[in-house]
Amino acid sequence: MLAAESLMKWRRLVLFTVGDYQRRFIVSSKMNRMTRRKATKLIGASSGALLLPMGASHLFSATESSSMLTRAIPSSGEKVTVIGLGTWNVFDMNLNPDKEKQLGDVLSVFVKLSGSVIDSSPMYGRAEEVVGTLASKLGLRDKLFLATKVWTRGKEAGIESMEHSMSVLRTKRIDLMQVHNLVDVSTQLATMRDWKQQGRFRYIGVTHYNASAFDEVGKVLRSEKLDFLQINYSIMEREAEKRILPLAQDRGVAVIINRPFGGGDLFSRVRSKPLPGWAAEFNCRSWAQFFLKWIIAHPAVTCAIPATSNLGHLEDNMQAGTGRLPDAKTRQQMADLAGSL
C-alpha cells in the first residue's frame, strides 16, 4: 500500500468515454525525489498485485485491505463481492478466436480478483450464451454467481424464456433470476418462486434501469417477498437514495446497481480533469474507482455491476472494491464535486 500511495504522488488517471467505452490516459507529473525509474518499479509492484488471486471473503469493512470487500445477502447471509460484472452490449459478440480470448481473459481475471456476480439478460443478444460458453470452457461456473432475467409476458412464455436461459448458460441452477423491468411481474414471480423451491433458482428479484419506474418498484418491494432488487444509481442519478434504497434495507432485500457510470456520461464530465488529491484518503486512484466507491459506500448497496470487455478497465473497476471507502461526509463532498463539473 505504501508503494501505491507513493505512486499516487506522480501518476494521475484521467478517464473519459466514447459511447459506453472508457479510455484511460496516464498523465505523469514529476515530483521531488521521484525518478521515473523509481516510479516504474512502483508501477510494477502495484500492477503485479492486481493480478494476484484474492483471499477468502471478508466481512465488509471501511478499513484498508487488499482483499475485495463483501456484503451479505440479507435473506441468507451469503456474501458476495461488492464489484460485479455487467454484460449488456459488451458480451453481445460472435465468439471468433480473438473475441473468445478477449472475453475469456476478462472473465478469468474477474474471478482471480475475487469477482463473483455476473449479470445478463435474454435482451442482451448473445451475452447469456457467451457467458455460458466461456464459463464452461474455462471451468469457472462454480466460481460465478450467475444472475439473469426473464423479459416477456405470460406464464408459458416466461417458462420458455427461463428454460432457454438455463440452456445457453449451461447450468442446471441459476443463482439469481430477476423480472426484467417489472414486465408481467406477478406472473413471472409466481413461476420463479416455484422454481426456487425446486432448487432451480437460488434467489429471485426484480429490476429496472429508470428512475421513472421507482413508484412501481416501491409497490413491488412492499407487496412481494424478494431476495434482490436491481436498479440504476450513480453519483449523478441519485433518485434511488430518496426512497428505494431505504425501503430495500427495511425489507431485507439485497441491491445490485446497474448504470454505475450513468451509461458512460460521467466520464465525459471529468475529461481532462485531475482526480482530487483527497481521493487518496479512501484509496481511490482513478475516476472509475471514484464513482464506484461512492456507490458501494452506501450501506444499502450489495454490489455494483459495471459492464466492460476491456481487461484494463476491469482491473481498474475491481480495485474500487478494495481498501477504504468514503464516509458519509466524504460521499457528500464527492457528490458536490461531481455536481460542479
Instruction: Output the pLDDT for position 20.
Output: 34
Q: Name 258's bridge partners.
A: 232
Instruction: Output the pLDDT for position 262.
Output: 87
Per-residue pLDDT of the chain (341 residues; tens, 9 = 90+): 444 443 333 333 333 333 333 333 333 333 333 333 333 333 333 333 333 333 333 334 333 346 999 999 999 999 999 999 999 999 999 999 999 999 999 999 999 999 999 999 999 999 999 999 999 999 999 999 999 999 999 999 999 999 999 999 999 999 999 999 999 999 999 999 999 999 999 999 999 999 999 999 999 999 999 999 999 999 999 999 999 999 999 999 999 999 999 866 889 889 889 999 999 999 999 999 999 999 999 999 999 999 999 999 999 999 999 999 999 999 999 999 999 98
266-271: long-range contacts, CB 8 A cutoff, minimum separation 24 = 266/234, 266/235, 266/236, 266/291, 266/338, 267/15, 267/16, 267/17, 267/22, 268/16, 268/17, 269/236, 269/338, 269/341, 270/14, 270/15, 270/16, 270/341, 271/14, 271/15, 271/16
What residues contact 331, with CB distance under 8 A and at least 6 apart? 294, 297, 298
Nearest CA to 318 among 47, 102, 25?
47
Nearest CA to 203 among 180, 177, 179?
177
Domain definitions of the chain by residue range: 56-340
Instruction: Let me know: does 341 contact 269? Beta carbons within 8 Å.
Output: yes
Nearest CA to 176 among 153, 138, 150, 142?
150
Q: What is the pTM of this model?
A: 0.81
Which CATH number fits the domain 56-340, given the four candidates 3.40.50.2020, 3.20.20.100, 3.40.120.10, 3.40.1130.10? 3.20.20.100
Instruction: Let me know: does 156 contact 190? Beta carbons within 8 Å.
Output: no
Distance CA 177, CA 334 (A): 34
Instruction: Output the pLDDT for position 60.
Output: 40
SS3 label, residue 243: coil
Q: Containing H/E element for 204?
A: strand 201-207
